Amino acid sequence: MLALLAGYWLLPISGQIIVLPGDEGTLPGPRFQLDPLIPRPGELVKVSVTDTQPWTFVTLTVAGEAASSAGWSQLPGGVWRWDWTFTAPAQPGYALVFYHDCHTGCIERGRIAVGRQPERVAPPTTIPTKLCMVFPNPERDWRGRSGWAVEIAYASQVEDMYWGVDDLATRVAAQHAQGLRVLIRVEYAQQQSLPPEGDYLALAEYLLFVERLARDARLRDVYGLVIGSDFNTAEANSLAGSRPATPEWYARLFNGYDEDAARDDNVVQRVRAVNPNLRVIVGPVRPWNTDGNGAERYTIDAPWLNYMHTLVARLDAGAQAKAAAGIPLCAPDGFDIQAPGRPDAPEMQGRPRAEEPRYALPRAAWGGAQAGFRIYREWLDIINSAPSTRGLPVYIISTNTYDREADIPPAQNYPRGWLTIALAEVDAEPQIQALCWFMDDFPHSEQWDWFSLTRKPGRLVDAAEEFNALLR
């Protein structure tokens, strides 16, 4: 049984239902035709969609996955036809959805329900958890918990395998079906987190990509977009040459800092214009990195803290300037931060390694800046220092026990119990919404095997068991 939320429905053949969004003016079309009419699981199916509009950049999804295009043709009488093939899913009922204009963000035109549709019932009760995975394994059992997932998208790889928008939409649909809240980290290119400073052509390209993600109906359930990451590092500015991202440039592209208030070529305003329900979240500054600095000195004079302090000040100034010009809602919706553990820090001497998240680890060589997991408290202090960012939700988008200085991965140094204690710390801090382990599973490369809770090499056997136990 299919519940109709909006639009018109028709009863074409064999009790299948076509739903057409919009009002009567959108009729006629589209029409769906399946061969075979009642597909069996695993059977190759041909499907044709006809419509009176010559839509471009079309796609068809089957149970959330893209079908294979078999071309298009123009028929007599001003009718266009598109053909696809797919393998029938092994489930009693599923939807075929027809989209157009996917080059700027897929717009749903119509859908058909195939097979027996389940009775609409109240969604199952799920217990929220702050536990989160970057690149979650689609086979992971979340045990009825409503956790978090982090995906990554690149403006320069919009059509690529895996990184492209179609594959991203497929993963997001599966994660939403598991009850997960999804964050998409939006990068300009690999090894170049943001458009290079002052490159307005690259900025325009990035904004078009962000708009496309915000508009795409297949991504309507995404919780928020995270704008960049690690942009205070040389590593994430590899294509920028002498133009690495400064806090001022980040604030400029995020909410129009230091530009005429009438200009809307910034991420917040472009996203709000097409999807006001989608959260726009500030990406994370990498801790303990000295490549970038900021003009606004924090109470502890460390480059990463100065960068973050300056960034928050500039974002606040941008939001205040927009508000003064009568343009509201230009402050961030939240912040992503990184909080890696350091169980082998010298400051931990004589303490249980697994209890590292419980301890403040001020490092004298850094003026007393935190050297471990509790750097999250310094990030919170900075975020809460400005009027427009005070109290905003915070997401720890990346944590594990990777010792970057010694280049020791979690598979080698993870102490059993560390994740349990880190989650207890986070659960006691209401401003923090998520604790994301980097990472779960990335089958396309061996680069992250020593971090993977799916592959669980070495000491990660303990971390994987712990994650599952915490879900119980």
Residue 203 belongs to what H/E stretch?
helix 200-215
Distance CA 153, CA 130 (A): 23
Q: Is the pLDDT of residue 23 over 70?
A: no
Q: How confident is the model at residue 10 (pLDDT cuts 50, 70, 90)?
A: very low
Distance CA 398, CA 437 (A): 6
Distance CA 449, CA 406 (A): 18
Q: Is the pLDDT of residue 55 over 60?
A: yes
The residues with which 61 forms a beta bridge, in sequence order, are 66, 97
Report which of 96, 103, 332 is spatially closest to residue 215, judged by C-alpha positions.
103
Q: Is the pLDDT of residue 26 over 60?
A: no
Distance CA 289, CA 302 (A): 9
233-247 pLDDT tens trace: 999 999 999 999 999
pLDDT of residue 116: 78
How do strand 334-338 and strand 279-282 relate by DSSP bridges?
parallel
Please report, as a single letter, which amino acid is at residue 232.
Answer: N
**E strands in 320-451:** 334-338, 362-363, 369-370, 394-399, 432-437
How do strand 107-115 and strand 334-338 relate by DSSP bridges?
unpaired
pLDDT of residue 119: 59
260-305 pLDDT tens trace: 999 999 999 999 999 999 999 999 999 999 999 999 999 999 999 9
Question: What residue segments make up the domains of the chain, in order of their start?
Answer: 8-115, 127-471
pLDDT of residue 22: 41
Domains 8-115 and 127-471 fall in the same CATH topology: no
pLDDT of residue 28: 57
pLDDT of residue 15: 37
Q: What is the largest CA-CA distance in the chain?
A: 82
Q: What is the mean pLDDT of the chain?
A: 92
Report which of 24, 23, 25, 20 is spatially closest to residue 50, judged by C-alpha positions.
20
With a CB cutoff of 8 Å and minimum separation 6, the contacts of 179 are: 124, 126, 142, 144, 145, 146, 147
Q: How confident is the model at residue 12 (pLDDT cuts 50, 70, 90)?
A: very low
Q: How confident is the model at residue 385 (pLDDT cuts 50, 70, 90)?
A: very high
178-234 pLDDT tens trace: 999 999 999 999 999 999 999 999 999 999 999 999 999 999 999 999 999 999 999
Report which of 197, 190, 218, 222 is spatially closest to residue 60, judged by C-alpha positions.
218
Of 25-29, 337-341, 462-466, least confident by mean pLDDT is: 25-29
How do strand 8-10 and strand 93-100 relate by DSSP bridges?
unpaired
Residue 382 belongs to what H/E stretch?
helix 375-383
Taking residues 325-347, report their average pLDDT.
98
Q: Is the pLDDT of residue 18 over 80?
A: no
Taking residues 303-317, report their average pLDDT.
98
Q: What is the 3-state secondary structure (H, E, C) of 414-463?
A: CCCCHHHHHHHHHHCCCCEEEEEECCCCCCCCCCCHHHCCCCCCCCHHHH
Fold that domain 8-115 belongs to in CATH? Immunoglobulin-like (2.60.40)
CATH node for 127-471: 3.20.20.80
- Taking each helix axis from N to C end, the angle separating 247-255 and 267-274, rounded to the nearest 10 degrees, works out to 20
How do strand 432-437 and strand 44-51 relate by DSSP bridges?
unpaired
Please report, as a single letter, which amino acid is at residue 52.
Answer: T
Q: Is the pLDDT of residue 176 over 90?
A: yes
**Residue 238, token pair as written in the block:** 């590899």
pLDDT of residue 240: 95
Q: What is the DSSP string of 170-211?
A: HHHHHHHHTT-EEEEEEESBTTB-SPPTT-HHHHHHHHHHHH
Q: How confident is the model at residue 118 (pLDDT cuts 50, 70, 90)?
A: low
Of 5-9, 24-28, 113-117, 127-131, least confident by mean pLDDT is: 5-9
Cβ–Cβ < 8 Å for 86, 35: no
Of 20-29, 162-171, 441-450, 459-468, least confident by mean pLDDT is: 20-29
DSSP 3-state assignment of 130? strand
Distance CA 384, CA 391 (A): 6
Percent of the chain clearing pLDDT 90 (strictly above): 90
**Residue 384, token pair as written in the block:** 């809460």
End-to-end CA distance of the chain, in Å? Answer: 33
Cβ–Cβ < 8 Å for 171, 151: yes
Q: How confident is the model at residue 259 (pLDDT cuts 50, 70, 90)?
A: very high
Burial of 363 (0-12, 13-18, 19+ CB in 10 A): middle
DSSP 3-state assignment of 126? coil
The residues with which 115 forms a beta bridge, in sequence order, are 93
DSSP 3-state assignment of 100? strand
Distance CA 372, CA 342 (A): 5
